[in-house]
Structure 1
Amino acid sequence: MSTYRLVCPHCQSKMRIRTSDGKHIFLRVAYLQCTNEACGWSVRAQFEMTHEMSPSGMPNPTVQLPVAPAALRRESMRNPHENQLDLLEASA
């Protein structure tokens, strides 16, 4: 599994999270800064949990998210860097 890497849209350098604040059980606000000192771009971002892709093995009854539609779950399993056809799509 790979780690999500935040990239500055201006200079393509790595971004770092300077600070973040939990606003809700499913929402976190973060303040990001480009690591390229010559660029120095900073931004506010929101990270939101929107759909359940698979159920928890240790469910918390207070956690209530809609189950993701099948198409969204399939898309989450796809590697964006892979050019291989999906077996189910190829046979259709």
Structure 2
Amino acid sequence: MAAQTPYPPRCTRSDRARSSDLRSERRKSVRITCPHCDERAMTRTSKRPSPVFYEVYAQCCNPACGWGGKLLVEFATTTSPSRLPNHNINIPVEPDSRRVLLEQLAPHR
């Protein structure tokens, strides 16, 4: 029987040789944790049924837990408008951001 380590094993990738750009990009991504054991969960696949909605399938990295499930990710509000808006997309502007935007557009007195 293998010796037990005090910490659960982490998810690893076989291709450890990554450029520094990819490493910094990965650090900026959202970290998903397991709802049961609070360890890291890895995205396995995702679907994008609409431009503002994703279905993400994730798996807990803790082999003692083993949870897997689906996360629903939605673009809920706009905090800063796009400079290249798609007029087919309607994501409501957050109330505080809307107030600031309207103040910026108002004529100065």
Q: Same fold (TM over 0.5)?
A: yes
Residue matched to 1:35 = 61
Name the TM-score, length of structure 2 as normaliser.
Answer: 0.58
Displacement after TM superposition at 1:9 (Å): 2.2
DSSP-derived class of the 1:4 partner: coil
Structure 2 unaligned segments of length 5 or more: list them. Answer: 1-26, 98-109
For residue 36 of structure 1, give the secondary structure of its aligned residue in structure 2.
coil
Matched, 1:63 2:89: yes
After superposition, the CA RMSD in angstroms is 1.8
Q: Distance in 2 between matches of 1:69 and 1:41?
A: 37
Alignment partner, residue 10 of structure 1? 36
TM-score w.r.t. length of structure 1: 0.68
Identical amino acids, percent of aligned pairs: 35
Distance in 2 (alpha carbons) for counterparts of 1:30 and 1:4: 12
State the one-letter code of the partner of 1:44: K
**Cα deviation digits, residues 54-84 of structure 1 (max 9, x gap):** 101222222221111118xxxxxxxxxxxxx
Q: Give how far 1:4 is off.
A: 2.1
More strand per residue? 1
1:71-82 aligned within 5 A:
none
Q: How many residue pairs get matched?
A: 71
Deviations 1:20-68 (A, max 9, x none): 1111111111111001111100111100011111101222222221111
